[in-house]
Chain A
Amino acid sequence: MEHIRTTKVEQVKLLDRFSTSNKSLTGTLYLTATHLLFIDSHQKETWILHHHIALVEKLALTTSGCPLVIQCKNFRIVHFIVPRERDCHDIYNSLLQLSKQAKYEDLYAFSYNPKQNDSERLQGWQLIDLAEEYKRMGVPNSNWQLSDANREYKICETYPRELYVPRIASKPIIVGSSKFRSKGRFPVLSYYHQNKEAAICRCSQPLSGFSARCLEDEHLLQAISKANPVNRYMYVMDTRPKLNAMANRAAGKGYENEDNYSNIRFQFVGIENIHVMRSSLQKLLEVNGNKGLSVSDFYSGLESSGWLRHIKAVMDAAIFLAKAIMVENASVLVHCSDGWDRTSQVCSLGSLLLDSYYRTIKGFMVLIEKDWISFGHKFSERCGHLDGDPKEVSPVFTQFLECVWHLTEQFPQAFEFNEAFLLQIHEHIHSCQFGNFLGNCQKEREELKLKEKTYSLWPFLLDDQKKYLNPLYSSKSPKFAVLEPNTVSFNFKFWRNMYHQFDRTLHPRQSMFNIIMNMNEQNEQLENDIKDLESKIKQRKSKQTDGILTKELLHSVHPESPTLKTSLCFKEQTLLPVNHALRTIEGSNPADNRYSEYAEEYSKSEPGVVSLEYGVARMTC
């Protein structure tokens, strides 16, 4: 690689910013084409993907060496001290180059090879099929149909080819409407609620300026409201703060005038734009440790970053949307400015509240594919995959994941997946290891031939499903059909396992979930044993019934009393001190020794979540 001058530096120190004792590890730093690797004296490896690097800083030389601070997009901060300044400088320069690629083709996904053949690769890409998903929702139907208007990306470059629109909306109406919408993103179906026959639609802002009108656009909205046989009124949610929307009018854009559209109720919901979100996250990271952890004003710092307020705003919007459908049976059209950031957040989160399918592992993948990837959330720009405009970078998708995390906290039984799943997805929107999140829209992805040259993330996550299962998930409980989250202030908490995921001091909940997971497995094992034994007994029974032993068998049915007796006293034993019972089992059967595993979990001090990174690394090797 032309950017790498030094591949190995010895005697490098790694400081742990969470450790209270200011301990440091000494080891060797390696620079590979894709990763920065640190191996300490205990042979423990720390892998950092170049694409994860958000910022590299070389600090002033100290007596012990030259400090190199690397901030990662997964919120890891590593602090190396390189003994010789020249080495530090070389690494610094290399990382600057390696972390900011100019071309898609230089991204990791194009060289990543998980040893799969072409058909496996293709199968992986076919795992999530959006046509299938629309069918699941119940479209096309008598009111909604697939439109071929954008088949060649002629109407809207940033939309997918396949779009669902009201059956009564003719092509001229669609074309006309698209001309009246920013970037041609005209109103299309995002989610169809089969029972309520109501729809979530999405678009970008109208080019209304101060007074412009567009009959086709008005017709299209009318067609959407007519496609709902129950409620002729529809909501138009502008997810921006009113002030921003008004300002947009001066630029010839703006929002719908209620007078021009029949049957609409217009509503602002006030989510701030990508620039506000970016600087809010920056502030959040500052109070939370970029500049040291010993801040005493943690809570007021958290508040002044505004981050949780923004999360709440997104959540409130989604709740509004879900209520409109559930309570009023009304269809809702959601937009912001271009309809790819806030609109994606609100549509996807709203669907997640309404439809329990999206709370499964597979369903969540579908949701991301649909509302984020296919509808052109600009992943590459928002995540800064390439060396581009830093003003386009914004944690919009991270916010979505955080909203979902808050929901999992409030409804621990409603989700099939756990926190690790969300963290892993977050890891990969930045890793550029898989093709899913590369590019900014479907058209661009096709041009990059991602399906031929890269792999899809989803099959790899599905293969590892066991790691991401939530042991509390109760799929059938009707309690969790539609989620109605409570947005009272104290429910919004700092997501420690995201923003401090490399804090190794504590991960208590994880350990509890591990216990439950292990217990679950034990029970499954027992269940299998029972089945085994039952079938064996059955077999023998049938053998014996023809044999001479029939008599004896009849006899053996009777002496149930000893069996009953032992099981009874056993029951008593377990009822009293649950843990004693546990111990006795485990003590004699090391195979399922929950206790020792658990103790190990603690002594390892390296929680499951943290090993994510190693997961990435291992895949690459």
Chain B
Amino acid sequence: MASAPTSKYNSHSLENESIKRGTFFILIDKEVIYICPFNGPIKGRVYITNYRLYLRSLETDSALILDVPLGVISRIEKMGGATSRGENSYGLDITCKDMRNLRFALKQEGHSRRDMFEILTRYAFPLAHSLPIFAFLNEEKFNVDGWTVYNPVEEYRRQGLPNHHWRITFINKCYELCDTYPALLVVPYRASDDDLRRVATFRSRNRIPVLSWIHPENKTVIVRCSQPLVGMSGKRNKDDEKYLDVIRETNRQISKLTIYDARPNVNAVANKATGGGYESDDAYHNAELFFLDIHNIHVMRESLKKVKDIVYPNVEESHWLSSLESTHWLEHIKLVLTGAIQVADRVSSGKSSVLVHCSDGWDRTAQLTSLAMLMLDSFYRSIEGFEILVQKEWISFGHKFASRIGHGDKNHADADRSPIFLQFIDCVWQMSKQFPTAFEFNERFLITILDHLYSCRFGTFLYNCESAREKQKVTERTVSLWSLINSNKDKFKNPFYTKEINRVLYPVASMRHLELWVNYYIRWNPRIKQQQPNPVEQRYVELLALRDEYIQRLEELQLASSAKLPDPSTSPAGPSQMMPHVRTHF
């Protein structure tokens, strides 16, 4: 886990790094003082490669104190000037995307911070210096190729598609219909490609309603899209109305199509002013519209900022609970989960097809469809299934990772940045807490995904959409995060996982049951003793191993006793009694 650099890496990982192809040292052995917010100033030496920053302590047995991928850096500031007084007042202050800040104090003489500042700026924000993002230089090799994990045709086939109501279309093969959608789309059989083109004119950024998931039994579907371009004048589009009706008709069980607009009602109305809006009752007779009250990316960004304020560097002590509440972070989590539960319930119990959108259909929509699918389809709760879910609903459908995370970009205050994907992973974590046996992966898996969401070591989360990724040949030129994970799956497995088919998970999305993900948000604080591995998991793994040992032992004994004893008069009591335990293994 790259998340806990202290003590995780011993000193020779430095040497390893230099051997690893694709990385090279840029700054070696620079003496700085790391102002650790927990343990005070630590004298150390900084090493910077084109991928990470290391700090080796000069005080405590040259232990590695820091190991930070440069991709994690969101902002580098100079603190103090050549004339500032006071100890450790001159240096650099680095803000990271993963809930921490790093402070280095340097000697004031001779502009000693200049080279470090320039190198960090250059390699943490390569886009501004026309340098490639590190993922394109990374030459790591894994014995599994993560890029093969997701194949849309296979995934749709797994869902039983195409069928006689739904077809796969290649209309967007060259990203001409919609440049932020994937090449391959699933649409109603009865809608022609021309219909699709006409519908595209009425949906924001041409993101037409397409199928995300189909229920294996009742054949209801989750369909995703962007908002309709209704505008102030309340424009209508016959093709769009007809298209939604066609979607509704693929499911004969209920006479209405359910539309979930993820936004709060007022926001949806306000969007009319900029040409957007929502499906009105008069225009769409056979649809019911519900608003899910999930706030926009800006609200989420500010909320997470407040979380950071109360957990880093110091954890709010005296008013912890009310401060936590005032960040509204858990409330947003609750709303997202509640929305997804409604979608899942509508599809599974309500037997109604569901259309989900927000404004552009790439943030809240992705959260809702992917979480609902996670609740409905146990396949997505396996490690590979989850990778496919992320690859499909987030990456291929154009969640704007580049804009939301700002990979290699220096504009830390960019209003496009927002922790939407983090919020999704948090929701998944909340679910895994409530259903500890339902997921094949563990917490470490989720944290690893989040770490590499920022690290730029892998190509997985680069760029905003599939067309851009294709243009940059990302799959050819970079390594996939899933290569790392799938080549070492055991590390990411939840020992309690019990595979269950067709069980719908409905998490309880009430404040009483949601908690702050301490192991992620407060992980830099040494006061949280992360019990690694978790004692419950550990005990279970021990018991499993013990059982295997016993069973093996028993097997050996049985073989020994049966081989030894051809005499039938004495044997039946023994082995036959034991057989049930063992026979099963053959």
Contacts and interface: CB of A to CB of B under 8 A. Distances in A.
Interface of A: 288, 293, 295-300, 302-304, 308, 412-413, 471-472, 486, 488-490, 493-494, 496, 500, 503, 505-506, 508-509, 511-513, 515-516, 519-520, 522-523, 525-527, 529-530, 532-534, 536-537, 540-541, 544, 549, 552-553, 556, 559, 562-563, 566-567, 570-571, 573-574, 578-579, 581-585, 587-589, 591, 595, 598-599
A251 B377 CA distance: 69
Given A578-B544, A584-B585, A585-B584, A516 B557 contact: no
B563 A570 contact: no
A515 B581 contact: no
A133 B493 CA distance: 46
Given A500-B512, A532-B578, 12 more contacts: A296-B511, A297-B325, A298-B512, A300-B325, A512-B536, A519-B543, A530-B554, A533-B554, A533-B575, A544-B564, A552-B564, A573-B585
Interface-centre pick from B321, B437, B556, B564 (highest chain A CB count, 10 A): B321
A515 B563 contact: no
Interface string B267-307: 00000000000000000000000000000000000000000
B266 interface: no
A566 B495 contact: no
Given A304-B322, A589-B581, A598-B437, A537 B547 contact: no
Interface in B413-437: 433-437
Contacts of B500: 599
Nearest to A492: B320
Given A512-B437, A574-B548, A537 B561 contact: yes
A585 B555 contact: no
B520 interface: no
Contacts of A527: 550
Given A488-B315, A588-B583, A591-B580, A540 B561 contact: yes
A241 to B, nearest CB: 16
Nearest to B311: A490
Contacts of A500: 512
Nearest to B553: A530
A494 B516 CA distance: 13
A573 B551 CA distance: 13
Contacts, number: 190
A526 B580 contact: no
Contact of A472 (B315, B529, B536): B536
A299 B325 contact: yes
Interface in B555-583: 555-561, 563-565, 567, 570, 573-575, 577-578, 580-581, 583
B317 A489 contact: yes
A500 B528 CA distance: 27
A582 to B, nearest CB: 8
Contacts of B557: 530, 533-534, 537
A500 B511 CA distance: 13
B158 interface: no
19 contacts: A299-B325, A303-B322, A304-B322, A308-B321, A413-B535, A413-B539, A490-B528, A508-B434, A515-B437, A522-B547, A523-B547, A527-B550, A530-B553, A532-B574, A559-B563, A570-B555, A578-B495, A579-B499, A589-B584
Contact of A537 (B318, B515, B564): B564
A563 B573 CA distance: 21
5 interchain residue pairs of minimum CB distance: A489-B320, A303-B321, A299-B325, A298-B511, A526-B550
Contacts of B318: 489
B565 A520 contact: no
B453 interface: no
B532 to A, nearest CB: 14
Given A489-B315, A537-B561, A511 B436 contact: yes
Given A509-B436, A523-B550, A563 B559 contact: yes
Contacts of B585: 570, 573, 581, 584-585
Contacts of B145: none
Contacts of B563: 556, 559
A520 B543 contact: yes
B498 A533 contact: no
Given A530-B557, A533-B554, A302 B321 contact: yes
A357 B552 CA distance: 36
A526 B575 CA distance: 13
A540 B580 contact: no
B528 A488 contact: yes
A512 B539 CA distance: 11
A303 B543 CA distance: 40
B560 A299 contact: no
Contacts of B535: 412-413, 472
B554 A553 contact: no
B410 to A, nearest CB: 34
A579 B556 contact: no
Contacts of A549: 567
A566 B437 contact: no
Contacts of B550: 523, 526-527, 529-530
B229 interface: no
A521 to B, nearest CB: 10
Contact of A508 (B320, B435, B516): B435
A412 B536 contact: yes
Interface string B427-449: 00000011111000000000000
A490 B516 contact: yes
A412 B533 CA distance: 13
Interface-centre pick from A302, A496, A599 (highest chain B CB count, 10 A): A302
A193 B209 CA distance: 72
Given A516-B540, A520-B543, A526-B547, A567 B578 contact: no
Contacts of A508: 433-436
Given A299-B322, A413-B535, A585-B584, A556 B560 contact: yes
Nearest to A598: B498
A520 B553 CA distance: 17
Given A303-B319, A508-B433, A511-B436, A488 B555 contact: no
Contacts of B586: 566
Contacts of A295: 511
B299 to A, nearest CB: 16
Contacts of B551: 526, 570, 585
B518 interface: yes
B316 interface: yes
Contacts of A509: 436
Nearest to A500: B512
Contacts of B573: 536
B522 interface: yes
Nearest to A586: B584
A496 B324 CA distance: 18
Nearest to A503: B512
Contacts of A573: 585
Nearest to A568: B552
Given A304-B322, A511-B436, A567 B552 contact: yes
Contacts of B62: none
Interface-centre pick from A288, A533, A540 (highest chain B CB count, 10 A): A533
Contacts of B567: 549
B578 A293 contact: no
Contact of B540 (A490, A496, A515): A515
B508 interface: yes
A299 B321 contact: yes
B527 interface: yes
Nearest to B584: A588
B189 interface: no
A519 B555 contact: no
A153 B564 CA distance: 73
Interface string B129-149: 000000000000000000000
Contact of A496 (B319, B322, B512, B543): B512
Contacts of A581: 548, 585
Contact of A566 (B317, B497, B540, B555): B555
B510 interface: yes
A584 B581 CA distance: 10
